[in-house]
């Protein structure tokens, strides 16, 4: 009987051409699928929680696949991970409920954008691959005022770059928090789903407010305009990281199997990574 396997993944997106498999290009999905297929010895389709763009990182990306392999789900982490390069890691693997789908089952996810806010370049902290450098003064209080206008269910067309056609541009943002950690400003955006480049465009808009070029309430006008040209620029991919994805706990309970299936009959618990929202 085929089983559904959950993977928790982290990667440095700098040298990947995004998540989605593309002919002739190194992508996260492509590299992982190749490694998994060598382990389970049959073709698989790896489903990700979302498609991160080229240069975007992940500390808690989630993927799932179906396999007829008899290998226990919790033993696949090492077998798959040992075949990967240093910029990609499988943090956890487990058999889950057959209804688990990395994309469709997701309840919410959090993206973090990091801004190195200092006169010196981020290379001084060895974070140049993971943070955007802004050396100009930023008013974080003004940015926080502006960020409140992003919270809620609304049309985010003004924050969406052109991409694949979508049925609706209405999305729900559950939180948008801005904090300083020494020389780094972190913008955490928590939502049920995002449009293409939505978070990077939101950050670009907040940066205009922080630099004093726009008033915080101008964000309302931008959103109401539904016009991408009125919003801030698309921020570089290097500062963006998918931190975690949350799922219903019930989907982490694997079906019980006979002992001769060589699989554990104990229900799987919700990974700590998904207990944050």
Residues annotated as catalytic (active site), given as ranges: 53
Residue 78: both structure tokens together: 């090492």
Strand ranges inside the chain, DSSP E: 3-11, 47-48, 57-67, 88-96, 108-117, 132-134, 152-155, 170-181, 184-191, 240-246
Q: At 134, is the secondary structure helix, strand, or coil? A: strand
Q: What gap in Å lies between CA 76 and CA 37, rounded to an integer? A: 11
187 touches 232 (CB < 8 A): no
Q: At 221, is the secondary structure helix, strand, or coil? A: helix
Alpha helices in 72-217 (DSSP H): 76-81, 140-147, 198-210
5 touches 59 (CB < 8 A): no
Q: Whose CA is closest to 41, among 79, 11, 10?
A: 79
Q: How many helices (H) and strands (E) does the chain have?
A: 5, 10
């Amino acid at each position: 009987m085929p089983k559904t396997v959950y993977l928790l993944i982290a990667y440095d997106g700098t040298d990947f051409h995004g998540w989605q498999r593309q002919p002739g290009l190194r992508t996260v999905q492509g590299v992982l699928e190749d490694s998994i297929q060598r382990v389970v010895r049959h073709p698989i389709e790896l489903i990700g929680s979302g498609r991160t763009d080229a240069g975007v990182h992940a500390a808690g990306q989630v993927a799932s696949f179906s396999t007829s392999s008899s290998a226990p789900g919790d033993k696949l982490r090492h077998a798959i991970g040992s075949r990967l390069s240093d910029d990609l890691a499988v943090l956890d693997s487990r058999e889950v409920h057959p209804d688990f789908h990395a994309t469709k089952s997701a309840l919410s996810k959090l993206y973090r954008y990091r801004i190195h806010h200092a006169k010196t370049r981020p290379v001084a902290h060895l974070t140049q691959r993971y943070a955007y450098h802004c050396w100009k003064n930023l008013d974080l209080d003004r940015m926080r005022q502006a960020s409140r206008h992003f919270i809620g269910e609304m049309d985010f067309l003004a924050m969406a770059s052109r991409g694949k056609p979508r049925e609706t541009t209405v999305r729900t943002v559950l939180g948008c928090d801005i904090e300083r950690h020494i020389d780094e400003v972190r913008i955490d955006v928590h939502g049920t789903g995002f449009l293409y480049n939505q978070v990077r465009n939101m950050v670009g808009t907040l940066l205009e407010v922080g630099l004093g070029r726009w008033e915080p309430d101008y964000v309302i006008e931008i959103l109401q305009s539904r016009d991408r040209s009125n919003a801030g620029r698309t921020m570089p991919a290097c500062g963006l990281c998918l931190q975690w994805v949350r799922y219903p706990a019930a989907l982490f309970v694997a079906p019980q199997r006979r002992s001769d299936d060589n699989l554990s009959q104990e229900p799987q618990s919700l990974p700590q990574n998904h207990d944050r929202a």
